[in-house]
């Protein structure tokens, strides 16, 4: 029988556990060292020479862009003397047009001063006077035509000059197209203050007054 009894197996087991702990600790240390090495490589690798090369590339690209912009500025059409001359010519043409427009406006003012002097505008809702003429209609401004008689009827209707009273026709003609007319008429006592009447043709219904102005002077008397 062994003197130590049950202590022999215990010591063997303790030595085995100790060896296992040594191997485990060694493995953990190796793993940690590997992690540190890999991490350090990655960290220091980002600050290594390739990063420096990239930085230089960006600087070169910036310099190239600046050079290109300078070249573009030198070649820009805005720096071209012929284009500048064209811009100056266009500016001069614009000024000429403005001056011409001012002259036209002055002419319009003068023409307006020579226009009919209106004393009264008569407002009414007139109806067509009727017609015996056929469509398609085109006005005939001849005193021996039926259209002339129908226009005179419309002028009396618009001005209120009776049928049995003499009506002086100072002018009766085209109002801008073949379906409109304009007339200057007066009664015997008011030669100097005639009526200016505009007529428009209504299909199948005849002439209809659309505006009546009682003038303060007769612009047609000396014509």
Highest mean pLDDT range out of 32-41, 43-52, 121-130? 121-130
What percent of the chain clears pLDDT 70, i.e. is strictly above it? 61
Do 83 and 153 lie in a common domain?
no
Indicate if 125 and 199 belong to the same structural domain. yes
Is 170 inside any structural domain? yes
Of 28-42, 131-145, 189-203, the range with the lowest mean pLDDT is 28-42
- Is 133 within a domain? yes
Q: Hey, which residues does 202 pair with through a beta bridge?
A: 206
Q: Is there a single domain that holds both residue 203 and residue 126?
A: yes
Instruction: Please tell me whether residues 127 and 185 are part of one structural domain.
Output: yes
Q: What is the four-CA torsion angle of 37, 38, 43, 46, rounded to 10 degrees?
A: 130
Compute φ and ψ for 105, nearest 5 degrees: -60, -40
Q: Are residues 43 and 93 in the same domain?
A: no
For position 8, what pLDDT does the model report? 58
In a domain, 147, yes or no: yes
Is residue 98 over pLDDT 80?
Answer: no
| pLDDT tens digits, 4-40 | 455 556 667 777 777 777 878 888 888 888 888 887 7
Domain that holds residue 175: 118-215
Considering the domain architecture, whether residues 136 and 181 belong to the same structural domain is answered as: yes
pLDDT of residue 210: 97
Residues 99 and 139 in one domain: no
Considering the domain architecture, whether residues 204 and 144 belong to the same structural domain is answered as yes
105 and 128 assigned to the same domain: no
Q: Is the pTM of this model over 0.85?
A: no
Asked if residue 199 and residue 134 are part of one domain, the reply reads yes
Q: Write down the pLDDT at residue 174.
A: 93
Q: Side by side, which strands form the sheet with 118-122?
A: 118-122, 206-215, 195-202, 180-187, 167-174
**128-152: burial string, b at 16+ Cβ within 10 Å, e else:** bbebebeeebebeeeeeeebbebbb
| Per-residue pLDDT reduced to its tens digit, 142-176 | 999 999 999 999 999 999 999 999 999 999 999 99
Q: Do residues 125 and 106 both lie within one domain?
A: no
Q: What are phi and psi of 121, to 5 degrees?
A: -105, 120
pLDDT at residue 169, rounded to an integer: 96
- Looking at the structure of the chain, the number of domains it has is 3
pLDDT of residue 92: 55
Check pLDDT > 90 for residue 215: yes
Q: Give a yes or no: residue 2 inside a domain.
A: no
Q: Answer yes or no: do 104 and 148 share one domain.
A: no
């Amino acid at each position: 029988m062994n003197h130590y009894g049950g202590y022999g197996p215990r010591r063997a087991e303790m030595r085995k556990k100790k060896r296992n702990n040594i191997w485990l600790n060694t493995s953990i240390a190796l793993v940690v060292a590997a992690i540190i090495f890999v991490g350090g490589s990655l960290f220091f690798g980002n600050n290594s020479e390739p990063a420096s090369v990239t930085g230089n590339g960006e600087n070169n690209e910036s310099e190239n862009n600046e050079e290109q912009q300078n070249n573009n500025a030198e070649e820009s059409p805005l720096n071209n003397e012929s284009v500048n001359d064209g811009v100056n010519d266009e500016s001069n043409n614009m000024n000429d047009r403005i001056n011409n427009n001012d002259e036209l406006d002055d002419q319009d003012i003068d023409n307006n001063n020579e226009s009919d002097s209106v004393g009264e505008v008569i407002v009414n809702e007139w109806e067509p006077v009727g017609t015996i003429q056929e469509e398609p209609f085109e006005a005939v401004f001849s005193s021996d035509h039926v259209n002339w008689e129908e226009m005179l009827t419309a002028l009396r209707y618009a001005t209120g000059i009776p049928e049995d009273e003499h009506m002086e026709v100072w002018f009766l003609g085209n109002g801008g197209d073949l379906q409109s007319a304009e007339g200057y008429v007066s009664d015997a006592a008011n030669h100097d203050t005639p009526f200016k009447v505009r007529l428009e043709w209504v299909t199948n219904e005849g002439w209809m007054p659309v505006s009546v102005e009682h003038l303060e002077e007769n612009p047609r008397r000396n014509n």
